[in-house]
Amino acid sequence: MAGHFGFSYVGLMYLLMLFIPNVFWAAHQPAGYERIKDKEKKIPVLLERAGQVGVTACALVFTDFNLAPFSAWSVWLIVSLGCMLLYEVCWIRYFTGKHTLKDFYGPFLGIPLPLAVLPVAAFLLLGVYGKVGWMMLFAVLLGIGHIGIHANHYKQVQRMASTPEEE
């Protein structure tokens, strides 16, 4: 379950890729977001927060995520990084769009809720690459909470789709 303690520069890179767009998003939230955010259920929020703290800590303190000589196992890191790069592309799509709830929750390349699914998948696969069970566990908790919250938001957005103020 445990990995090797130390500093992970790969984990730091992932966290920067995660946090920087979110800082900009805080200043450019879609119209109507506060209305749906206020309806979040407590259990998914608790799971999301626990997952966020755990994933952040694991990403930074396990050296197992740092680059190793290339092997077949490196494919896990490549796919994980691919998820993070797609996540960045989704943010570019959002920031260059109209900042609507539809832009925020809309699918990308057939991936539903990509701004929730892609980073969770990336950290889960990073845990597989590093063989760090704690990262995988916290990524699952994060996924249950974060994806669950976003799925609920998306359902609310679908219900509100007929109101012109949300466009």
Q: How far apart, in Å, are the Cα atoms of 93 and each of 44, 54, 114, 128?
A: 27, 29, 11, 29
Radius of gyration of the chain (CA): 17
Block means of pLDDT (10 residues each) for the chain, 167 residues, are 88 98 93 85 96 98 97 98 98 93 92 98 98 98 97 89 56
Q: What pLDDT was estimated at residue 165?
A: 53
Residue with tokens 């990073």: 126
φ and ψ of 112, to 5 deg: -75, 145
As a whole number of Å, the end-to-end CA separation of the chain is 46
Q: Which of 64, 68, 54, 69 is nearest to 6 (CA)?
A: 64
**Which residue ranges make up each domain of the chain?**
9-166
Q: What pLDDT was estimated at residue 2?
A: 67
CB neighbourhood size of 165 (10 A): 7
CB 117 within 8 A of CB 111: yes
Show the beta-strand stretches assigned E in the chain. none
Q: What pLDDT was estimated at residue 166?
A: 46
Q: What pLDDT was estimated at residue 161?
A: 72
Q: What pLDDT was estimated at residue 37?
A: 84
Name the pTM for this structure: 0.92
Q: What pLDDT was estimated at residue 78?
A: 98
